[in-house]
Amino acid sequence: MLEELNVRNYALIDNLSVSFEGGLNILTGETGAGKSIIVGALSFLLGAKAETSVIRTGSEEASVSAVVSIREDNRDALDWLASRDIAAEDGRIIVRRNIKTSGRSSIYIQDAPLSRNDLEQCMGLLFDLHGQHSHESLLHKEIHRKYLDRFAGLENEAAQFNGIFLNLADKKRTLETSAANERDRDARLEILRYAIEEIDKAAVKNGESRELEAESKRLASFEKLAGQVNSAAAALFEDEPSVLSLTRRVRTAMDNAAAIDGELSAMQQRTENLYYEAEDLAEEFRSYRDALRYEPGRLEEVEERLALLYRLRKKYGGAASGSGIEEDGILAYRNAAEAEIDALSNAGENRGKLGAEIALLEKDLAGRASALGAKRRSAAAKLGDRISTILKSLGMPNARFEVGVNNRGQSAEPQKTSMVIGPWGAEDVEFLISANAGEPLKDLSRIASGGELSRVMLAIKTALTGEHTGAVSDSKRISDSQETLVFDEIDTGIGGEVALAVGDYLRKIGGIKQIFCVTHLASIAVRADNHLRVEKKTGGGRTTTVISVLSADTLRGEIARMLAGDAGGAAALAHADELLKKYKK
């Protein structure tokens, strides 16, 4: 349940903080006051895509946060959080999302950073938002199956079925690929074996090209190198005076001076260290110079080896860097080739095992499809009757609603039925309706009235909660996990007695769910458990959207405004009092 919503710098909202209650929360206000902005901010928090255009002019970022409580029996939401090491505190989580003018966004549940997809998944287990046009989702048949499965409590079973179906499809693709590869197996094996032989013959060692490049550079400039080495050796220890002889003289002089003046002992130690360092350097340099040899033909050998490594890299992979060619790609190719040879050599045996696995999965899937289909057909009749009953109370007395569950296909032989299994079962689910007496059942897309679609959506939601029965225990038994339902202007295209019926049903659903409803109809607004008014205010040259919870006195004026456009008129107030007395709890 949404307990608190905080919005900053979102569209016309400067800084808004509001608390909500359970039951039916009604949002009203003049057209353009910003009711859709409140719903938009909530939608943003639930994971909807957002553009930087929602950031209030003059601000660097927009942010929305909320305190959300989770029922102990909402295992779907609690398990989702636990799988990501997120713990609710006292049954509550804090959700935060912001977007900057740069387009960068951050999302947190508690202190855990999440992706937008994660946010959408989690909030989808807690909220169900229907915007001004979202009832049009009813026109998409894939949603019909989801609603039926939710009503029948088959969501987990359908998800398991889908997982097996996808696994089966993956194994079939693997088998098909294996069969296709068989035709080219011999040619492929020959290529792979030649590659391994060529790499092994070259005795490639990772990193050797770096060493060879350094040697190539040294050999190519050997004469210049030798000259510089000899010059350095002369200065270091051959000439007179040399660096070594000079440091020896300095050391001796400092030893004698320090014996006279103790203040020179520190410098004497440093000159002694200098002498030993010069002596070590001279010894190492003698060894280097003595080992320096020019081998005729070695440069050619090095360059040929480098050329070979380069060709192998071009053929089998590797990475060029500023310090040379890496051989790890060549060696990785060799290992992969060896593994592929092993797989191809055992392809026949593997295909046999894969075929057996596929046969078992197909049998399992067929059994599951049959069982799932039977449960759906049984539940479809109940759901159709339940929605038809609700629609009659929502101003559609002659409506007839049916949930069609049809086989996905038939065989060419009329006497036999072939099971055609899809990702979610062996049948298609479609909602059909006859809105008027004497009219045949048609798919929902043939409904012209937006008001009728809104009522169908409300009837489905009511049926899913079971609240129309008036039995709380029954409603809890079949209720979906979403604890909060949001309806943005569900009153589109309705009025009169129909509006009263819609209000009655919203209040009934509010008995077990938290409901948010944006409405322009007073006959719906008077059913609110918590009534909030959205207004625009101007100050300092800026327009701001604000929201306030109405008291008993201010509620009269708001209902009067909705009835007659006059919040202070005596007739409108009298009418408002009459509605509040009749329909307010």
Q: Tens digits of per-residue pLDDT, 339-358?
A: 888 877 776 667 788 889 99
Tell which wins on pLDDT, 40 or 444. 40
Mean pLDDT of 444-453: 70
Beta pairing class for 61-69 and 442-443: unpaired
Domain residue limits at 51 = 1-126+481-550
Query: How many whole angstroms separate alpha carbon 467 and alpha carbon 474?
Result: 8
The answer to whether residue 529 sits within a structural domain is: yes
Query: How many whole angstroms separate alpha carbon 583 and alpha carbon 216?
Result: 95
The answer to whether residue 537 sits within a structural domain is: yes
Q: Does the pLDDT at position 523 exceed 70?
A: yes
pLDDT at site 89: 92
The sign of the CA dihedral 410, 413, 418, 423 is negative
The sign of the CA dihedral 345, 348, 351, 353 is negative
The answer to whether residue 321 sits within a structural domain is: yes
Q: Does the pLDDT at position 324 exceed 50?
A: no
On whether both 307 and 215 belong to a single domain, the answer is yes
Q: Does the pLDDT at position 96 exceed 90?
A: yes
Mean pLDDT of 530-552: 87
Mean pLDDT of 212-217: 81
* Lowest mean pLDDT, pick from 318-332, 364-378, 463-477: 463-477
pLDDT at site 477: 36
Among 267, 282, 269, 276, smallest CA distance to 247 is for: 276
Q: How far is CA 60 from CA 9, 52, 96, 115, 158, in A?
A: 9, 10, 17, 21, 45
Cβ pair 20, 29 in contact under 8 A: no
What percentage of the chain carries pLDDT values higher than 70?
A: 90
pLDDT at site 304: 87
**Number of domains comprising the chain:** 2
Per mean pLDDT, which of 163-172, 231-240, 488-497 is the most reliable?
163-172
Mean pLDDT of 425-444: 89
Predicted confidence (pLDDT) per residue in 461-516, tens digit: 778 766 444 333 333 333 456 788 888 767 776 777 778 888 888 888 888 889 98
Mean pLDDT of 234-240: 83
Q: Does the pLDDT at position 414 exceed 60?
A: no
The answer to whether residue 99 sits within a structural domain is: yes
Q: ω before 241 within 30° of 0 (cis)?
A: yes
The answer to whether residue 573 sits within a structural domain is: no
Q: Does the pLDDT at position 325 exceed 80?
A: no
Last residue of a domain, one of 267, 302, 326: 326
- The band of 409, judged by pLDDT with boundaries at 50, 70 and 90, is low
Q: ω before 296 within 30° of 0 (cis)?
A: no
pLDDT at site 411: 44
The answer to whether residue 22 sits within a structural domain is: yes
Q: What is the DSSP letter of 236?
A: I
Tell which wins on pLDDT, 395 or 484. 484
pLDDT at site 373: 94
- The band of 10, judged by pLDDT with boundaries at 50, 70 and 90, is very high
Last residue of a domain, one of 294, 309, 326: 326
Tell which wins on pLDDT, 447 or 214. 214
Mean pLDDT of 69-87: 90
Average of per-residue pLDDT values in the chain: 84
On whether both 227 and 110 belong to a single domain, the answer is no
- The band of 136, judged by pLDDT with boundaries at 50, 70 and 90, is low
The answer to whether residue 66 sits within a structural domain is: yes
On whether both 117 and 230 belong to a single domain, the answer is no
What percentage of the chain carries pLDDT values higher than 90?
A: 30
The answer to whether residue 470 sits within a structural domain is: no
On whether both 5 and 117 belong to a single domain, the answer is yes
CATH code of 10's domain = 3.40.50.300
Q: What is the CA radius of gyration of the chain?
A: 40
Alpha helix stretches (DSSP H) within 325-346:
328-345
- Collapsing DSSP to helix, strand or coil, 112 comes out as strand
Mean pLDDT of 514-528: 89
* Lowest mean pLDDT, pick from 259-268, 288-297, 533-542: 288-297
* Lowest mean pLDDT, pick from 330-334, 350-354, 530-534: 350-354
pLDDT at site 323: 40
- Collapsing DSSP to helix, strand or coil, 21 comes out as coil
Query: How many whole angstroms separate alpha carbon 141 and alpha carbon 279?
Result: 89
Q: What is the DSSP letter of 52?
A: G
Mean pLDDT of 227-248: 84
pLDDT at site 384: 94
pLDDT at site 224: 83
pLDDT at site 471: 34
Query: How many whole angstroms separate alpha carbon 141 and alpha carbon 429?
Result: 7
Q: Which residues contact 368 (CB under 8 A, 6 or more apart)?
A: 157, 160, 161, 164
Last residue of a domain, one of 271, 301, 326: 326
Query: How many whole angstroms separate alpha carbon 242 and alpha carbon 227?
Result: 18
Tell which wins on pLDDT, 282 or 291. 282
Q: Does the pLDDT at position 132 exceed 60?
A: no
